[in-house]
């Protein structure tokens, strides 16, 4: 309805155009177009809010997490003082203090009676120093009395300082590192003892109470074991249930009930599955707490409805003519389903399954309830040992008080997101590769 | 141990398949040579039949053992415990036994026990290990017997006229039905586990006090004589907090999600749709713990700084009191959790609404355009009213998600149970309390732990009702155009 048609219509009837009415109508049209533009703008705004938020989220996490992927290592010569090292029990020696005192002498600092400065210096090294030095002595006791160079990670605070996360402009009572320590750190850096390297420990270590030694490997292995249990249980049962409901079940009240039930299960809050896990698997069946077995079982029950729904919809997409053709050739119902329908539906089934597995991988709340928040330093070897999982590690680290854990939390999230993206990309590829229109 | 038996069962089943197949071939050949008719089923189907009869009974034994052996072992351990252990308070006894399992498995115990109990711990640990070994060996023998019996049964029967295919297909039908029964069993499991522990909770705390009490402080003491040993279990502040955060989340998710859906289905070009859809899918795939981290470390501090600076600006002016309040706002508040949760729900709302808007028939749109309406008028006056029930259902589903969401609120909303409608206050929710009650040191059987199940039951019922209503609405609506 434009003004052109309007005036034409008026002319053809031979009626004189009322200019007031035309301008009123034109004003109305303008208003309507403005409304239209505004409405479209709201849509654009809504979409940009969603997209902008995703960018903000990813940007912030990368910004906070990228620094965790490199770390600083301090290399120092150590005189293995025979008076201080017990040849038979090298682990008992306080190597950190030994190194700290020698470093003070090298920097020309006089310590006080109580040894406060040595302690302040010592806190700049990771406790890893002690273990590395002890291992050196144990392997070769002859180095006692000699000077060797030992490399050890900087402590979390020193590391953050070198990364610029702790600013020297902050008033000294508000930062965890004193002015004196900053001077020493600068001197060490100037002497070339400090080296930046890729933080391999993040990927090869289990969890630790010390941020500079904490890694995600234990949690990755735990998550993998858990996902394995989930997949082994949820995928066959889910596909079986979907095949039964879609291809075999008689249409009666029982199958209706099962169907409604599955739809409701898909929307039950995940934490309720955690409660189920506590009551059923831990309190009743006495399966080991915090183990990937229990975690996997809970996640399997949770993933099951999603897999069933996805499988059913891809079974539905296979046209009836395929079934009729098979049946006409004398195949039984079971043969039709397992040799013709299911293989054709498989790409869709796999896509749905991968997506629900990715969801299970990221699920946290039920894991907290079955005890996956406890501190587990080692790397698990079986599905019945206590372990952590990637998402619960994120939760534990987020709650840690040391600031260095913040960047590691973000790094762990990046690892988690990388897994999710790989899985989802796999699902999308599958869909693209095998998508078929009937 | 059970894994070893599982492997044995799998190996035996494979052998049964090969044996059954071979036997079927031989017997069928003999019959054809003797001038008889051809076999009814193919050899592989005979093999499968043998596999099922060897595998299924033994697998059933293993599964039953997996489900029940833990409980039976525990019963046996508890029944044979010494009097020192018997005298312990219930939850200490539970802790003792769980340590006994650890010691039995060769791991260090979690707690340090006084002298007589420490000795008992080694004894009980050894007993626990013994009981477990006995049980698992017993299971293994039972599984083997089941496999052998099944094998005997089946190998006598393999004959050319055996209708192996039909039998196998009957079995497959049974297995498939059992698979779908798992979903029903899960529901029953959820309901029973929640009900059982909730009933025990409601024995010590009356239902009315739980539902209508306005004070929530479950910090119950471990010993009965300790100060403040009685907790308060009025859940109204938790419901209020949950509701407040849900409202905030919906205020973000509903308009943004709905407008995104409208834009994507009515306005967007193919190209922009191809970009925006995957972005929304990524947003939906981000784990909630990541949203929680983001809320706690980015959104929370940012909003605090924002409100504090407004507060500082207002102090001394006519709005001094508000300024004073705003300048003290903390990181953890309902607004942070609600807003981030709203963002999390955007893809959920938009994909559901997108489906529903798309399912409105094109004829309605064409009719509206033919009347000279603009796109926005068509959307507002034709599409939305037509799709309204479906959208309402989608929003209800989103609400039930918001009520059940845990990680974001755990990380960003706080722990203080307050009865408030102020979005800048810290509030706590049902899910947060479940997590706090069930993590850390806990003793089963105390009202504090059982309260989590009471809350879980309420949460389950509320979300269940919302889901059922929402699904009903969506389904009834969808049938109108099909």
Residue A244 and residue B70: Cβ atoms within 8 Å? no
The whole-angstrom separation of Cα A9 and Cα A17 is 10
Asked if A400 is an interface residue toward chain B (Cβ–Cβ < 8 A), one would say: no
Residue B459 and residue A271: Cβ atoms within 8 Å? yes
Specify the pLDDT at position B443. 59
The C-alpha R_g of chain B, in whole angstroms, comes to 31
Please report which helix (H) or strand (E) contains residue B395, including its range. Answer: helix B384-404
Considering only CB atoms, which chain B residues are within 8 Å of A395? 289, 292, 407, 410-411
Residue A285 and residue B258: Cβ atoms within 8 Å? no
- Which of A286, A420, A428 has its CB closest to that of B74? A286
The whole-angstrom separation of Cα B306 and Cα B124 is 59
DSSP string for A20-77: HHHHHHHHHHHHHHHHHHHHHHHHHHHHHHHHHHHHHHHHHHHHHHGGGGEEEEEEEE
Residue B343 and residue A53: Cβ atoms within 8 Å? yes
DSSP string for B108-168: --SS---HHHHHHHHHHHHHHHHHHHHHHHHHHHHHHHHHHHHHHHHHHH--TT--HHHHH
Asked if A273 is an interface residue toward chain B (Cβ–Cβ < 8 A), one would say: yes
The whole-angstrom separation of Cα B140 and Cα B374 is 74
Residue A53 and residue B286: Cβ atoms within 8 Å? no
Considering only CB atoms, which chain B residues are within 8 Å of A236? 179
Mutation target to probe the B interface, by most B beta carbons within 10 A, among A267, A301, A384 is A267
Specify the pLDDT at position B459. 95
Q: If DSSP codes are grouped into helix, strand and coil, which group holds residue A185?
A: helix
Name residues whose C-beta falls within 8 Å of residue A231's C-beta, 6 or more positions apart in sequence: A357
Specify the pLDDT at position A428. 83
- Which residue on chain B is closest to A363 by alpha carbon? B287
Q: Is A338 exposed, middle or buried (0-12, 13-18, 19+ CB in 10 A)?
A: middle
Name residues whose C-beta falls within 8 Å of residue A432's C-beta, 6 or more positions apart in sequence: none
- Which residue on chain B is closest to A49 by alpha carbon? B256
Ranges of residues in chain A with a pLDDT under 50 are: 1-12
- Which of A42, A395, A428 has its CB closest to that of B259? A42
Contact A152, A129 (CB under 8 A): yes
Asked if B464 is an interface residue toward chain A (Cβ–Cβ < 8 A), one would say: yes
Specify the pLDDT at position B447. 77
The whole-angstrom separation of Cα B45 and Cα B51 is 10
The whole-angstrom separation of Cα B97 and Cα B443 is 13
Contact A214, A207 (CB under 8 A): yes
Alpha helix locations (H) across A74-216? 95-107, 116-122, 128-139, 156-162, 179-190, 201-204
- Which of B257, B276, B291 has its CB closest to that of A51? B276
The separation between CA B32 and the C-alpha centre of its own chain, rounded to angstroms, equals: 57
Mutation target to probe the A interface, by most A beta carbons within 10 A, among B66, B290, B463 is B290
Residue A271 and residue B452: Cβ atoms within 8 Å? no
Mutation target to probe the B interface, by most B beta carbons within 10 A, among A32, A255, A270, A272 is A272
Considering only CB atoms, which chain B residues are within 8 Å of A296? none
The whole-angstrom separation of Cα B277 and Cα B265 is 11
Which residues between 198 and 257 in chain B have a beta carbon less than 8 angstroms from any beta carbon of chain A? 255-257
- Which of A49, A51, A267 has its CB closest to that of B467? A267
Considering only CB atoms, which chain B residues are within 8 Å of A284? 70-71, 193
Considering only CB atoms, which chain B residues are within 8 Å of A363? 287-288
CA distance readout (Å), A152 to A93, A117, A269: 16, 20, 46
Considering only CB atoms, which chain B residues are within 8 Å of A59? none
Enumerate long-range contacts of A97-106, CB under 8 Å, 24 or more apart: A97/A122, A99/A125, A99/A129, A99/A133, A99/A150, A100/A124, A100/A125, A102/A76, A102/A77, A102/A78, A103/A76, A103/A184, A103/A188
Which residues between 53 and 92 in chain B have a beta carbon less than 8 angstroms from any beta carbon of chain A? 67-68, 70-71, 73-74
Residue B287 and residue A364: Cβ atoms within 8 Å? yes
Between chain A and chain B, the number of residue pairs with CB atoms below 8 A apart is 284
What's the token pair of residue B101? Answer: 């399992």
Considering only CB atoms, which chain A residues are within 8 Å of B169? 332-334
Specify the pLDDT at position B91. 66
The whole-angstrom separation of Cα B134 and Cα B80 is 15
Residue A358 and residue B70: Cβ atoms within 8 Å? no
Asked if A372 is an interface residue toward chain B (Cβ–Cβ < 8 A), one would say: no
Residue B467 and residue A1: Cβ atoms within 8 Å? no
Which residue is it, tokens 């293994």? Answer: B140
Q: If DSSP codes are grouped into helix, strand and coil, which group holds residue B233?
A: strand
Angle of CA points B255, B261, B265, to nearest 5°: 150
Residue A32 and residue B374: Cβ atoms within 8 Å? yes
Contact A218, A387 (CB under 8 A): yes
Considering only CB atoms, which chain B residues are within 8 Å of A257? 184
Shortest distance between the Cα of B151 and any Cα of chain A, in A, equals 24
Asked if B197 is an interface residue toward chain A (Cβ–Cβ < 8 A), one would say: yes
Maximal C-alpha separation, chain A: 119
Specify the pLDDT at position B480. 58
The whole-angstrom separation of Cα A377 and Cα A379 is 7
Class of domain B216-481: mainly alpha
Specify the pLDDT at position A13. 52
The predicted-structure confidence for B210-250, as pLDDT tens digits, reads as follows 888 888 887 655 555 554 445 788 889 999 999 999 999 99
Name residues whose C-beta falls within 8 Å of residue B316's C-beta, 6 or more positions apart in sequence: B323
What's the token pair of residue B176? Answer: 């498939």
- Which residue on chain B is closest to A301 by alpha carbon? B186
Contact A418, A62 (CB under 8 A): no
Shortest distance between the Cα of B318 and any Cα of chain A, in A, equals 34
Asked if A310 is an interface residue toward chain B (Cβ–Cβ < 8 A), one would say: no
Specify the pLDDT at position A353. 93
Asked if A375 is an interface residue toward chain B (Cβ–Cβ < 8 A), one would say: no
Q: Is A224 exposed, middle or buried (0-12, 13-18, 19+ CB in 10 A)?
A: middle
Shortest distance between the Cα of B481 and any Cα of chain A, in A, equals 19
Specify the pLDDT at position A9. 46
Shortest distance between the Cα of B12 and any Cα of chain A, in A, equals 20
Angle of CA points A244, A245, A247, to nearest 5°: 65
Compute φ and ψ for A241, nearest 5 degrees: -65, -40
CB atoms near residue B48 (< 10 Å): 23
Name residues whose C-beta falls within 8 Å of residue B231's C-beta, 6 or more positions apart in sequence: B217, B218, B219, B220, B447, B448, B451
Which residue is it, tokens 């010592």? Answer: A122
- Which residue on chain B is closest to A52 by alpha carbon? B279
Question: Which pTM was predicted?
Answer: 0.88
Contact B355, B280 (CB under 8 A): no
**C-alpha dihedral over B403, B407, B412, B416, to 10 degrees?**
70
Compute φ and ψ for B447, nearest 5 degrees: -55, -30
- Which residue on chain B is closest to A382 by alpha carbon? B3
Shortest distance between the Cα of B152 and any Cα of chain A, in A, equals 27
Residue B288 and residue A262: Cβ atoms within 8 Å? no
Specify the pLDDT at position A412. 94
Which residue is it, tokens 């706590």? Answer: B428
- Which of B179, B268, B434 has its CB closest to that of A271? B434
- Which residue on chain B is closest to A293 by alpha carbon? B66
- Which of B71, B276, B400 has its CB closest to that of A284? B71
The predicted-structure confidence for A248-283, as pLDDT tens digits, reads as follows 988 888 888 888 899 899 989 999 999 999 999 988
Is CATH 3.90.650.10 correct for A217-434? no
Ranges of residues in chain B with a pLDDT under 70 are: 1, 90-91, 110, 219-230, 440-445, 477-482
The whole-angstrom separation of Cα A71 and Cα A401 is 20
Asked if A365 is an interface residue toward chain B (Cβ–Cβ < 8 A), one would say: yes
The whole-angstrom separation of Cα B298 and Cα A60 is 8
| Region label for A371, one of left (φ > 0), alpha (ψ between -120 and 50) or beta (otherwise) | left
- Which residue on chain A is closest to B436 by alpha carbon? A369
**Which candidate, A364, A359, A357, places its Cα nearest to that of A397?**
A364
Asked if B119 is an interface residue toward chain A (Cβ–Cβ < 8 A), one would say: no
In the beta sheet, which residues pair with residue A287?
none
């Amino acid at each position: 309805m434009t003004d052109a048609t309007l005036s034409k219509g008026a002319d053809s009837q031979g009626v004189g155009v009322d200019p007031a009415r035309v301008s009123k109508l034109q004003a109305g049209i303008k208003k309507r177009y403005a409304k239209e533009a505004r409405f479209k703008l709201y849509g654009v705004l809504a979409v940009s809010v969603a997209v902008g938020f995703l960018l903000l989220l990813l940007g912030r996490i990368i910004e906070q997490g990228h620094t965790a992927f490199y770390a600083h290592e301090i290399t120092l010569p150590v005189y293995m003082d025979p008076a201080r090292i017990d040849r038979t029990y090298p682990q008992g020696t306080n190597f950190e203090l030994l190194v700290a005192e020698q470093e003070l002498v090298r920097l020309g600092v006089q310590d006080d009676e109580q040894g406060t400065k040595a302690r302040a210096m010592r806190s700049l090294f990771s406790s890893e120093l002690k273990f590395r030095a002890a291992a050196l002595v144990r392997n070769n006791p002859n180095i006692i009395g000699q000077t060797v160079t030992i490399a050890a990670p900087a402590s979390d605070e020193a590391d953050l300082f070198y990364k610029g996360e702790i600013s020297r402009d902050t008033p000294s009572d508000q930062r965890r590192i004193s002015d004196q320590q900053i001077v020493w750190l600068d001197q060490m850096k100037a002497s070339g003892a400090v080296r930046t390297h890729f933080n391999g420990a993040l990927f090869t270590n289990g969890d630790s109470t010390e941020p500079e030694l904490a890694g995600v490997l234990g949690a990755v292995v735990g998550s993998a074991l858990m996902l394995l249990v989930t997949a082994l249980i949820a995928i066959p049962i889910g596909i079986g249930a979907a095949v039964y409901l879609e291809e075999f079940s008689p249409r009666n009240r029982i199958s209706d009930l099962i169907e409604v039930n599955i739809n409701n299960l898909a929307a039950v809050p995940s934490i309720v599955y955690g409660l189920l896990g506590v009551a059923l698997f831990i309190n009743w069946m006495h399966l080991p707490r915090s183990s990937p077995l229990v975690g996997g079982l809970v996640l399997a029950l949770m993933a099951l409805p999603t897999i069933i729904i996805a499988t059913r919809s891809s079974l539905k997409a296979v046209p009836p003519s395929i079934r009729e053709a098979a049946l006409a050739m004398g195949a039984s119902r079971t043969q039709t389903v397992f040799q013709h329908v299911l293989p054709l539906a498989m790409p869709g089934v796999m896509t749905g399954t991968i997506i629900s597995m990715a969801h299970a991988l990221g699920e946290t709340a039920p894991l907290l309830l079955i005890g996956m928040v406890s501190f587990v330093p080692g790397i698990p070897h079986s599905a019945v040992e206590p372990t952590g999982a990637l998402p619960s590690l994120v939760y534990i680290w987020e709650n840690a008080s040391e600031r260095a854990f913040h960047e590691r939390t973000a790094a762990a999230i990046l690892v988690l997101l990388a897994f999710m993206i790989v899985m989802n990309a796999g699902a999308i590829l599958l869909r693209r590769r095998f998508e078929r229109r009937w | 141990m059970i894994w070893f038996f599982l492997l044995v069962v799998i190996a035996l089943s494979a052998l049964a398949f090969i044996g059954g197949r071979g036997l079927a071939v031989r017997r069928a050949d003999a019959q054809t040579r003797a001038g008889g008719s051809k076999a009814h089923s193919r050899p592989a189907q005979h093999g499968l039949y043998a596999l099922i009869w060897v595998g299924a009974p033994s697998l059933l034994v293993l599964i039953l053992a997996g489900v029940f052996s833990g409980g039976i072992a525990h019963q046996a351990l508890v029944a044979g415990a010494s009097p020192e252990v018997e005298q312990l308070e219930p939850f200490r006894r539970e802790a003792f036994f769980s340590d006994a399992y650890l010691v039995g498995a060769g791991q260090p115990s979690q707690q340090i026990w006084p002298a007589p109990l420490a000795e008992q711990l080694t004894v009980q640990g050894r007993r626990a290990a013994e009981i477990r070994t006995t049980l698992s060996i017993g299971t293994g023998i039972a599984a083997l017997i089941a496999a052998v019996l099944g094998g005997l049964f089946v190998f006598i029967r393999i004959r050319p006229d055996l209708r192996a295919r039909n039998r196998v297909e009957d079995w497959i039908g049974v297995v498939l039905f059992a698979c779908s029964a798992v979903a029903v069993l899960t529901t029953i499991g959820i309901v029973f586990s929640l009900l059982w522990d909730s009933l025990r909770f409601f024995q010590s705390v009356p239902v009315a006090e739980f539902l209508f009490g306005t004070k929530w402080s479950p910090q119950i003491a471990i010993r009965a004589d300790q100060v403040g040993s009685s907790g308060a279990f009025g859940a109204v502040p938790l419901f209020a907090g949950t509701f407040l955060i849900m409202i905030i989340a919906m205020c973000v998710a509903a308009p943004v999600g709905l407008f995104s859906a409208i834009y994507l289905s009515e306005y967007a070009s193919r190209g922009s749709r191809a970009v925006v859809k995957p972005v929304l899918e990524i947003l939906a795939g981000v784990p909630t713990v990541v949203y929680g981290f983001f809320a706690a470390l980015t959104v929370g501090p940012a909003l605090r700084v924002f409100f504090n600076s407004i507060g500082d600006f207002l102090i001394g002016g006519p709005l001094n009191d508000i300024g004073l309040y705003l300048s003290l706002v903390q990181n953890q508040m309902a607004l942070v959790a609600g807003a981030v949760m709203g963002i999390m729900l955007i893809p959920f709302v938009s994909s559901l609404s997108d489906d529903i808007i798309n399912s409105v028939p094109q004829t309605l749109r064409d009719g509206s355009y033919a009347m000279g309406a603009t796109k926005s008028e068509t959307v507002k006056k034709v599409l939305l009213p037509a799709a309204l029930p479906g959208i309402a259902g989608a929003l209800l589903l989103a609400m039930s998600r918001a009520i059940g969401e845990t990680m974001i609120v755990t990380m960003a909303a706080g722990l203080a149970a307050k009865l408030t409608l102020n979005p800048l206050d810290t509030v706590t929710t049902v899910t947060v309390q479940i997590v706090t009650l069930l993590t850390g040191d806990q003793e089963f059987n105390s009202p504090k732990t059982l309260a989590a199940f009471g809350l879980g039951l309420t949460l389950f019922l509320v979300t269940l009702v919302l889901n059922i209503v929402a699904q009903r609405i969506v389904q009834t609506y969808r049938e109108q155009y099909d």
